[in-house]
Structure 1
C-alpha cells in the first residue's frame, strides 16, 4: 500500500470515529436534558404541593403557645369549605409526627384525590381523604383515611415512624377535628404492614361477633403489642399509606376513639 493511500484510509477512519463520537455525545446530552427536566418537574411538583398546604394551614389553623398548643389548636372550617366543599375534617399528630397536619376530604370515589390536591390542583401529593363508603362524621366502626407516602416527607410519609415502638411510646395519639366543632382523640393501638386486599379495609360489620373478629385480627397482625384495649363498643380510624417494599402492601396506623370534646 502506498503512503498516500494509507493516510487517506487513516483520515477516513478518524472522520468516522469523530462522527460516531459526536452522535453519542448528542444522545448523551439529550438524555441528560430530558432527565434533568423530569427531575425539575418532580421537584417543582413537591414544592408546589407543600407550598399549597402551607398556605392552607396559615389560612385555616390557629395554634396555641407552648404548653397550651394542644388546647389552643383550632380550625376555621368556613375558610376550608369555601375552598373545597368536600372538606370533612382535619387530622394532626401532636407532638410528632407534626408534619402530618392536613385537611381531610371525601370525594365521590377513592380515585378523585389521588392526584388532586385540596385546592383541586393536579399534583402527585394528592390529598388526605376519607374512604368513600364511610360516614363523613367518623361514626363508623372502622373509618379509613388514605394519604400518599411522599419521598419529600409530606402527606402520610411519616406514618412509618411508627415502625419503632419507642416512637409510638412517645407519640401514641392523633387528633381529628370536624366542621361541627368536635376534637376527637384517637389512641393508637395497632400499627403494621398489610396487603391491600386485607380485611383491614372492611367497613361494614353485621354483628358484634364480626366486629370482634376484625378487632382481634388488627391486634394479631400488629408490629408490636401496645397494650391498648379495644372492644366492640369502640370505633376506630385506620390511617393507610403505601410502603416502599411493594405496590401490594400498605402501612397502617389504627387508633381507637378515646375522647371527644367541643372546641368551639
Structure 2
C-alpha cells in the first residue's frame, strides 16, 4: 500500500496512514521560497540603509549581504519556477503543468529529458511558450529586458572576477542599470564608480525581486497557468 501527497507551497505532507507499510511521498516546490527570500532581503537592505544613511561609514557588509542575497534569490526563483513546470511535465505530475495541452507537456518532457536542466533560464521560458503555441515575450521590452539584465547581474555576482574600474571608465552595467532604481544611500557623496558600489543598494534589491516576479507573472498569463507563488498559501503576501 502506498500513499502519495504533496503541497503547492512548502511541501508539507497532508496524508497520514495507519498501516505500517504506508509511504508518504513529499514533493516540494521551492520557487516561492526563493521569491520571498529575495523580498525579505530587500526589506532588510532598506531598513539597514535607512538606519545608516548619513553616517561616515559608507560601506556596510551586512547591507551589502542583503542586497546580494536579493539579487541571487530573485534569479533562483526564476529558475526554480520554470524547472518545476518542466519537471512535473517530465514525470507526469499534474500540479502546474496540468492545464497545458498534452502536446505541450510532451514537448516539455522531451526537452527536459534531453537537455532541459542545462538550458539557459530564459530559453526554457521561451520554449515553453513556443510549445504551447503562445506569443513569446519581446526580448527588447519589459519585463523580458529587466529579467535578462537581472540574470546578467546575478552571474556577475556569482561568477565574480576582480577588475579595475574608475569613474571615467564605467562598467557596462552602468548604462543599462542606472535609472532603474534609486542609488545606494550609503554611498551618497562617495567618489566610487557607480557600479557596483552606488548600484548595490536597497533600490537594486527591491528592483531584483520585482523584476523577477513581473517576468514570471507575464509568462504565466501568456501560457495560461498559475505558478507556485500565485497559488501557495502564505500568511504574508508580497506587496504590489
- TM-score of Structure 1 vs Structure 2, range by shorter chain: under 0.3
- Structure with the larger strand share: 1
Q: Which has the higher helix share?
A: 2
What TM-score results when the alignment is normalised by the length of structure 2? 0.24
Higher relative contact order (CA 8 A, sep 6+): 2
TM-score, length basis structure 1 = 0.22
Higher-Rg structure is: 1
